[in-house]
Amino acid sequence: MRIALYGKGGIGKSTIAANLAAAFAMRGRTVLQIGCDPKHDSTRLLLDGRRATTVLEYLRDTPPAQRRLADVVYRGYGGVACVEAGGPEPGVGCAGRGILSAFALLDQLGLDSTAFDVALYDVLGDVVCGGFAVPLRAGYADVVCIVSSEEFMAIYAANNILRGVRNFEQAGAQVAGLILNSRGAHESPAGVQRFAQAVELPILATLPRSELFRVAEQQGKTVVEAFAASSEAAGLFGLADALLARPPLWPARPLDDEGLEQVVLGNAWQAPGGAAPGQATNGGKSQESTSGSPGVLDAIAPGDEEATADRQPLLASSHHRRTNGTAEDQQPTSDALPIPAHGAAYVSKFARGGAPPVTPAAPTSATGVHFLSKSVLFREPLHGCAFSGAVGTVTHIQDAIVIAHGPRSCANLAGQTLQSSGIHTLYREGIAIPEQLAPNLLSSDMDEAASIYGGAEPLRATLRRALDRRPQAIFLAGTCPAGIIGDDLRQIAADAAGEAGAVPLIPLTTDGNMAGDYMQGVINACIEGAGALVDPRCPPEDNLVNIVAEKNIATNTEPNMREVTRLLEQLGLRVNCRFVRRTSVEALRGLLKAPLNLLAYNDHLGRVLQAFLVERFGATFARQPFPVGFSETVDWLHELAAFFGRPQRAEAVIAQARSDYLRSIEHIRTGLAGRRLMIVTYNHDIDWVVESALDAGMDLVKVGILNSIEDHGFRTRYNGQFAVETGYTPDQRDADIGRFAPHLLLSSYTPAGAILPLHCDTIPLCPDVGFFSGLRLVQRWATLLKAPIYEGWRNDHVLVASDHA
Amino acid sequence: MCSLPLITPDSFSGAILAIEGIADAAVLLHGPTGCKFYHGALSERSFARGDALDPLLYRSEFYFGQARVPATYMDGHDYVFGATDKLDRLLSIAAGRDHALIALVNAPGAALIGDDLERVIAAAGLEAPCLALENPGYSVSFTAGFQGALRQTIERLAPPPLPVVARQVNLLGLSLYQRHWQGSLDELRQLLGLCGISVGATLSAGSSVAALRSLRAAQVNVLVHAEYGDELAAWLRERYGMAWLLPRYGAPIGFDATEAWLDEVCRAVNADPAPGLAAVRAARRLSYEAISRFNALTGLPKGATFVLQAEGSLAYPLTRWLNYYLGMTPLAVRLSDETSAYVQPLREYLVAINCASAWGADLDERQAPDVVVGSQALIAQARSSGRPVAGVEVALPGGSYLDVLPKKLLGAEGALFLVEQVLNGLYRQVL
């Protein structure tokens, strides 16, 4: 049973939640309590008054690779698993978004609420936005209890909560009833009773105002723990028993505002069926009672005098030992270990068992390891957004449509990235890529109203537009605004599945950049999007290879593909599917036809996708990525030829290329031998150019590796033959130029301004593949070094106002 | 499936590029880098203001290798807890860069969490005027964001009353998002100058903060691209009593619209249009010489077909001119913003020339156009099918061609440039 406890702020929800959790535990149930209030004091009374590290604090302070569920799940009284979501200080940030982020992390870390007998969600105030509705979403709470007092504003909030609940009732009624947390004997319960009748809900329990709550709270304990034999505890046990008995659930039938006032304030109220003011509403229309009024299940009669505790500010800490009032016969063994260690023990206890897996909030491997981009993994500033990366990937599936859910600017920016790459490829290489020039991309055009009231409707309308075009698949990618307001793309896709028929609707984990950077979006799109289409039963065929992890926004991707295709054809091989570029739903379904997969790049993305395909489908990969430069191409061809059993073909190709290469190198050697070369680059693998430079007799004096979002871990087979420095900076560059006086600086960007006189050339971020990529660059230097070191146009530097950062 | 329509930018981009168009102003973006890179690149490319591009020079926090539109690189944590600490740091860096105006612009996501930009600005104590664009709008038109940002800018600058300078005008509706804006502005200054009319402020592309502060010295606010300035002009009239002129035929593109525009502006400030019109006539002569020879050999451009997609202020006069002057026939005419005031006259014109079906039509795979007039994205889309389509770039996003010599789309020389593009495009097809 998973219970969400809602109610107006300060009404006593947390005290009731903690007491209920304790009572459930006393009844021998395994219990999880998640506090969903930024003030993160929901579980304090279960933890001897101590404060748990919140999920959001943990998310902020802990690198992804080091995150463990045990660090945020604490064992409290009675073995209750305690989690605090946390959130921002009042007045800043977005607490609702915090709840979304916290639940996403708990999902990622594998917290499975269904493994507990009871999960309790203690939720802040009203259902104020999508974030606070998280517990109501599919997969979380299935029972809603609303806490109210006799005050009008508390009842008003309860009615608002019913409005929110109604939006999540697709799977059926969810409301168990009201819990009246009384303000004392001086307050009349009549208003709340009339409200309960009007909305056709039972009052599950009436909890009296009692001094015991305050005393227990001062001890950092629940009443159930501190005064287990008291009548107050008995009432809480009664409520727990009533809930464990699985009371009937009722649909949410909120009143309109005018009716609410009339009902609660006692004006002209009539019972349901009497067409009274304050008729229960359903989408603005009156609704007939379906099953008669539920009864009232008062655990304790109203009228007890003393205060409930939660109306007082909770004390910051309490280190009292357990004192009086405990019921030894019900007292579980209290775990006395320090708090963080409890989590580990607890989680290990509950992580086992056959509980269904949670829906992953980010692509996860079968072993629970997340496929993360480098920036996310190392918590670097995020370059670009997951939304754009995902859009830029799945738009390469020709017969699919991608829906960008958010403001038009987001779809436009993602589309611009695609089109820009397509335009450059068209004009530089003469190759048209329709997937980029005319991407199958629709925007839900989320407007101001959607940002306030939720964007489900514009998204559904866009889905219908997409379905009208009869695509083979539809992908949904959400933007930051959609993620912040908590639009649930998975639920919307699930709801529309019937309308879509055989067309798969595939939501991608993006939420703008909240799922990560551009590369994380690429990863998620490959794994959740394209990966979801792969038919795992497809039998392999001979002579086929797949291409994996090409760079979709590099302008030489197609020329590279042509060169690779040419080399493959010389071995008698064909490309089956490109994962994910210029492909189709059908080709992705048949991905496993190819017995061998070829990485385009052995960078971070390549390694992640390889790990995914190996783990998920048992795919086989060639050891080497697309070959760049002579030696790599030789090795690559040998490896492929060995795999497919055709070594003679490879040797013939290599022999011809070797002859051409050596002849060319010999020709340029006279101009380059002994010249000093220095390289400063983002590339982490430059052997392809180093090889040709050394073959031409150049002296490589220094290599400086700049930090890159795409790769890390410089690698070379020329260890010890030249000086290498990673994490390189421009200041180091200028100093090294002075120190080594290179004849040629090869750099990702030509340095601006006046530095020491030397020749400069640029090294491509994504080099061409094949035998001759290094050779072509080195051939250029033979002529470049004959040019004047300092071109005339540079003298006009003084004419341009300097505006450097 | 047939092609889906290109997705156009919205008010968020409009607001950023409005401020970035002011030469000595700067946008500081409160948002993720995903919202930054494109705008930074577009601003730099449309209006280069610094030295050579060496990303390593812009390596300080917030710049990410770009000279323009630094951003607070918001992430999931910032959306929960706010990111005013980053804003504080960004403002302190920006304070040292001699900007004459700074605008803090919220990205769409940042606008939802409500970081208090005004408080950050107040706390920074900057010398330069600084404004906060808290809500850039969601899926609202680009031009609404553009004009809204400029209105806020002018409110912040509070231009003082000045003696009106006879025959001085402000030009409204110029944006970095217009292809060849700089050359076109130079051309309009030239033509107006021939008529004894000086240009004060331009709103906003190519202007300066000082010029904006002096905008009340102008006799009339003249619209160039109406959708980028109509609401602003009405507001300036209401706020400062400034007269404004909405030329009847749209932007001065093509000979006829240029002549009409010049004539209307001269009337508004009591200037003699004759010298300007003489320059247009000289251009007409050059155009005639080229077209007549081309036509004699090929029969073109008469009867050539075109597809056009642009904003209303361009689409209306350009459609008329391509049809009336060059004898070309529209297959499809689409507006980037279908709320434009030029929708009605444009549709009426298409009906009048018996081409009503061209309104809003898709690129038809069965009937390829000879010429595509629009953004490079539209042109490339048409060319991706392998058809020999002539392209005339009149809108952004642009292509990979590097413009060194400033091109002009507006005015007399702009018309010559268009004729040159059409003739050479068709010529390649004939060959």
Tell me if A534 sits within 8 A of A617, measured CB to CB: yes
Nearest to A402 by CA among A288, A507, A272: A507
CB contact under 8 A, A97 and B113: yes
Instruction: Indicate the pLDDT class of residue A128, thresholds 50, 70 and 90.
Output: low
Fold of A2-350: Rossmann fold (3.40.50)
Q: Who's near B308: CB < 8 A, 6+ residues apart?
A: B315, B318, B319, B322, B330, B332, B333, B334, B372, B373, B374
Q: How far apart are CA B211 and CA B201, in angstroms?
A: 5
pLDDT (0 to 100) of residue A127: 58
With contacts defined as CB-CB under 8 Å, which chain A residues touch B64?
381, 383
Question: What's B389's domain CATH number?
Answer: 3.40.50.1980
Interface test with A, best of B1, B69, B92, B138 (most A CBs within 10 A): B138
Measure the CA angle with vertex A532, ends A526 and A537; round to 5°: 120
* Residues making up chain B, counted from first to last: 431
Range of the domain at B272: 168-276
With contacts defined as CB-CB under 8 Å, which chain B residues touch A512?
32, 34, 109
Instruction: Mark which of B276, B300, B315 sits at the end of a domain.
Output: B276
The gap between the terminal CA atoms of chain A, to the nearest Å, is 58
Domain range A382-533, CATH class: alpha beta
Q: How far is B83 from chain A (nearest CA, A)?
A: 8
Residues B74 and B197 in one domain: no
Which among A97, A450, A805 has the least Cβ separation from residue B60? Answer: A805
CATH of domain A669-798: 3.40.50.1980
Residues B252 and B358 in one domain: no
pLDDT (0 to 100) of residue A315: 24
Evaluate if pTM is beyond 0.90.
Answer: no
Comparing A660 with A340, which gets the higher pLDDT? A660
Across the range A606-611, mean pLDDT stands at 94
Domain boundaries, chain A: 2-350, 382-533, 544-649, 669-798
Annotation says A221 is catalytic: no
Check if CATH label 3.40.50.1980 holds for domain A544-649: yes
Six token digits for residue B43: 């601003």
Q: What is the pLDDT of residues A447-479, one digit of tens each?
A: 988 887 789 999 999 999 999 999 999 999 999
Residues B260 and B296 in one domain: no
Residues B208 and B300 in one domain: no
CB contact under 8 A, A412 and B11: no
* Residues making up chain A, counted from first to last: 805
DSSP annotation of B5? P
* Mean pLDDT, chain A, whole residue set: 83
pLDDT (0 to 100) of residue B51: 57
Q: How far is B380 from chain A (nearest CA, A)?
A: 6
Six token digits for residue A667: 């020709």
DSSP annotation of A532? G
Q: How far is A545 from chain B (nearest CA, A)?
A: 27
In a domain, B201, yes or no: yes
pLDDT over 80 at A169, yes or no: no
pLDDT (0 to 100) of residue A711: 64
Selecting among A112, A126, A685, A736, the annotated active-site residue is: A126
Across the range A742-746, mean pLDDT stands at 94
With contacts defined as CB-CB under 8 Å, which chain B residues touch A95?
80
Annotation says A117 is catalytic: no
pLDDT over 80 at A271, yes or no: no
- The answer, for A805 touching chain B at a CB cutoff of 8 Å, is yes
pLDDT over 90 at A752, yes or no: no
Instruction: Indicate the pLDDT class of residue A247, thresholds 50, 70 and 90.
Output: very high
Residues B335 and B422 in one domain: yes
With contacts defined as CB-CB under 8 Å, which chain A residues touch B63?
805
CB contact under 8 A, B138 and A407: yes
CB contact under 8 A, B53 and A427: no
Which among B7, B34, B53 has the least Cβ separation from residue A513? Answer: B34
Q: What is the pLDDT of residues A676-688, one digit of tens each?
A: 999 999 888 899 9
Nearest to A511 by CA among A131, A168, A63: A131
- Domain count of the fold of chain B: 3
- Angle between helix B230-240 and helix B142-157 axes, rounded to 10 deg: 30
Residues B357 and B326 in one domain: yes
pLDDT (0 to 100) of residue A730: 75
Across the range A528-551, mean pLDDT stands at 96
Residue of B nearest to A415 (CA): B7
pLDDT (0 to 100) of residue B235: 97
Q: What is the dihedral of CA A578, A579, A581, A585, to 10 degrees?
A: 90
Q: What is the pLDDT of residues A479-525, one digit of tens each?
A: 999 999 889 999 999 999 999 999 999 999 999 999 999 999 999 99
Comparing A104 with A616, which gets the higher pLDDT? A616
Q: How far apart are CA B72 and CA B120, in angstroms?
A: 13
CB contact under 8 A, B33 and A382: yes
pLDDT (0 to 100) of residue A279: 42
Reduced DSSP (H G I as helix, E B as strand, rest coil) percent helix, strand, coil of chain B, to 5 = 50, 15, 35
Task: Note down pLDDT in tens along chain B; length 431 residues.
Answer: 557 888 999 999 999 999 999 999 999 999 999 999 999 999 999 998 865 556 656 777 899 889 899 999 999 889 988 899 999 999 999 888 889 999 999 999 999 887 889 889 998 988 999 999 998 999 999 999 999 999 999 999 999 999 999 999 999 999 999 999 999 999 999 999 999 999 999 999 999 999 999 999 999 999 999 999 999 999 999 999 999 999 988 999 999 999 999 999 999 999 999 999 999 999 999 999 999 999 999 999 999 999 999 999 999 999 999 999 999 999 999 998 777 889 999 999 999 999 999 999 876 666 789 999 999 989 988 888 777 789 999 999 888 788 889 999 999 999 999 999 999 999 877 65
Residues B71 and B183 in one domain: no
CA B221, chain centre distance (Å): 17
pLDDT over 90 at A101, yes or no: no
pLDDT (0 to 100) of residue B2: 58
Residues B23 and B113 in one domain: yes
pLDDT (0 to 100) of residue A153: 87
Render B100-163 in DSSP notation, one character per residue.
SEEEEEE-HHHHHHT--HHHHHHHHT-SS-EEEE----SS-BHHHHHHHHHHHHHHHH-PPP-P
Six token digits for residue A412: 């436009």
pLDDT over 50 at A310, yes or no: no
A382-533 and A669-798 have identical folds: yes
Phi-psi region of A47 (alpha: psi -120 to 50; beta: other; left: phi over 0): alpha
Q: How far apart are CA B220 and CA A790, in angstroms?
A: 50
Reduced DSSP (H G I as helix, E B as strand, rest coil) percent helix, strand, coil of chain A, to 5 = 40, 15, 45
- The answer, for A38 touching chain B at a CB cutoff of 8 Å, is no
Comparing B306 with A273, which gets the higher pLDDT? B306
Residues B317 and B184 in one domain: no
Percent of chain A with pLDDT over 90: 59
In a domain, B281, yes or no: no
Annotation says A8 is catalytic: yes
